[in-house]
């Protein structure tokens, strides 16, 4: 069988959605709604591009290429090695995996403790249980469809729907006026909000695990695997659009009931507490635990599967155990310090990741232009590094004014023009010095 049943296809789509949908995906849409107010839906259109479209395209791009390393090798083999390892480490044990435990802990444990209680030992105990469970589920990445897709994803969707229906029956307020930055160019601001989820990078990670799950269901040939991945992406995108819309609506209703709230977690806490009372804390705790757990499992599975290809002598379970232990230590001991290092690295990696995804979907004839990838990515990466250094207040010896003058620099997208210039220059160089693409 090289085609899944409708139920199996749906479960793969649910699995993909579950792997993406973590704490940031819960927090950003209600935050957007609370600030955008009457401009919520134009802002949501922008968010859909960066927080739904790009991540799903990232998964498909990796599957089409065969692996993230194969896709990045179109730039250069050395770039592929460095870029791929940094992607997996930054979005994995150095940032997202530890944060899944710390974020879910903050929503699930302190609200139920007496005021002033020290949470150190509670956090240690929680993270031990959280990562032990995630490790057990991640031991077999090819089985995530039967665990995340069949069980945890439906539970998450039901809980979010319960909260949404509660807001429909007992609305806490109404859409208020748009606040900065959504009072100007709301779709662009929505795009930037989705951009902050960093899910396009996660999409590059998750491709390998989705393929494992599809193959485990009996689809082994290249074209059917790609076709199944695309269908799973469509299902995941629909789920994202529905859930993001529900969360944005919840946030928008809070803009008059709880004015001035700029934190998505606080927005959800206020609204759910107002509607459901003490039961609301239990609902939110369950939502955050399930969402963060799903993402944690997906990331551990992805990292373990990738590093197993680098060092086959260490099995996937061994790598999964390593990443689970390291992430638990970081979550309890040094997350703030790791974030200080990881976030700038992610800011550098994200623009070339977006351009890499874009290039992967250009027509075949354009793909054969040998300089498109190396020159386009080189320009993007240099611009990305310079803008990240500028954000870190590191002197750039006269380049600051130039960087600020580039179009879109004021909305943190200054790398876009250099990327376009690099791609066009790559096309020109390919035409002037034609050769067979590697």
Assess contact for 296 and 97: CB atoms under 8 A. Answer: yes
DSSP three-state, residue 226: helix
The angle subtended at Cα 350 by Cα 400 and Cα 416, nearest 5°, is: 55
- Residue-wise pLDDT tens digits, 21-60: 988 899 999 999 999 999 999 999 999 999 999 999 999 9
For 173, 365, 417, 428, the CA distances from 431, given in Å and listed in that order, are 59, 12, 21, 5
* Distance, CA of 426 to CA of 438 (rounded, Å): 15
- Report the SS3 class of residue 133: helix
Q: What are phi and psi of 190, to 5 degrees?
A: -65, -40
Quote the pLDDT of residue 359.
95
* CA dist., res. 245 & res. 146, Å (int): 27
Nearest to 259 by CA among 244, 247, 271: 271
Residue (of 127, 119, 135) closest to 101 by Cα position: 127
Average pLDDT estimate for 99-125: 90
Q: How far apart are CA 119 and CA 122, in angstroms?
A: 5
Helices 23-36 and 40-48 sit at what angle, rounded to 10 degrees? Answer: 150
Does the pLDDT of residue 437 top 70, yes or no? Answer: no
Q: Looking only at Cα atoms, what is the longest distance across the chain? A: 71
pLDDT digits (tens, 9 = 90+) for 272-289: 999 999 999 999 999 999
What is residue 438's predicted lDDT score, i.e. its pLDDT? 44
The answer, yes or no, to whether residue 316 has pLDDT greater than 70, is: yes
Please provide the DSSP assignment of 328-344 as one string. Answer: HHHHHHTHHHHHHHHHH
CA distance 352 to 363: 19
pLDDT at 195: 82
* Total Cβ atoms within 10 A of residue 306: 22
Q: Three-state SS for 262?
A: coil
What pTM was estimated for this model as a whole? 0.90
Tokens matching residue 142: 């090819």
Q: pLDDT tens digits for 198-246?
A: 899 999 989 888 998 999 998 989 899 999 999 999 999 999 999 999 9
- Residue 342, classed as helix, strand or coil, is helix
Phi-psi category of 129—alpha, beta or left, where left has phi over 0 and alpha has psi -120 to 50? Answer: alpha
Residue 12 CA to chain centroid, in angstroms?
Answer: 18
Alpha helices in 37-152 (DSSP H): 40-48, 54-65, 68-72, 77-91, 96-108, 120-138, 144
């Amino acid at each position: 069988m090289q085609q899944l049943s409708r139920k199996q296809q749906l479960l793969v789509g649910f699995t993909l959605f579950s792997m993406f949908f973590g704490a940031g995906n819960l927090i950003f849409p209600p935050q957007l709604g609370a600030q955008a107010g009457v401009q919520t839906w134009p802002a949501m259109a922008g968010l859909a591009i960066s927080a739904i479209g790009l991540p799903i395209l990232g998964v498909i791009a990796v599957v089409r290429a065969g692996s993230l390393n194969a896709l990045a090798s179109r730039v250069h083999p050395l770039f592929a090695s460095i870029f791929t390892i940094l992607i997996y480490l930054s979005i994995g044990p150095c940032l997202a995996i530890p944060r899944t435990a710390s974020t879910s802990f903050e929503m699930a444990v302190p609200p139920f403790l007496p005021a002033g209680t020290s949470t150190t030992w509670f956090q240690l105990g929680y993270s031990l249980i959280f990562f032990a469970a995630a490790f057990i589920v991640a031991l077999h990445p090819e089985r995530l469809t039967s665990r995340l897709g069949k069980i945890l994803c439906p539970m998450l969707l039901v809980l979010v729907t319960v909260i949404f229906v509660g807001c429909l029956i007992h609305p806490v307020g109404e859409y208020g006026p748009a606040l900065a930055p959504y009072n100007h160019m709301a779709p662009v601001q929505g795009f930037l909000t989705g951009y902050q989820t960093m899910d396009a990078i996660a999409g590059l990670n998750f491709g390998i695990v989705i393929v494992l799950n599809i193959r485990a269901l009996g689809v082994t040939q290249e074209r059917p695997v790609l076709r199944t991945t695309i269908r799973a992406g469509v299902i995941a995108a629909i789920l994202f659009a529905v859930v993001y819309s529900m969360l944005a609506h919840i946030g928008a209703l809070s803009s008059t009931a709880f004015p001035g709230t700029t934190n998505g977690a606080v927005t959800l806490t206020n609204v759910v507490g107002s509607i459901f009372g003490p039961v609301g804390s239990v609902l939110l705790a369950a939502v955050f635990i399930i969402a963060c757990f799903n993402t944690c499992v997906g990331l551990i599975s992805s990292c373990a599967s990738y590093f197993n290809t680098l060092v086959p002598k260490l099995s996937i379970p061994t790598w999964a155990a390593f990443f689970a232990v390291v992430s638990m230590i970081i979550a309890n001991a040094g997350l703030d310090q790791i974030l200080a290092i990881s976030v700038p690295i992610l800011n550098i990696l994200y623009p070339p990741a977006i351009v890499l995804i874009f290039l992967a979907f250009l027509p075949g004839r354009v793909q054969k232009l040998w300089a498109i990838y190396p020159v386009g990515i080189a320009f993007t990466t240099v611009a990305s590094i310079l803008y990240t250094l500028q954000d870190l207040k590191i002197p750039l010896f006269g380049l600051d004014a130039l960087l600020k003058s580039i179009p879109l620099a004021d909305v943190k997208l200054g790398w876009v023009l250099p990327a376009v210039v690099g791609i066009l220059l790559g096309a020109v160089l390919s035409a002037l010095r034609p050769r067979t693409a590697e």
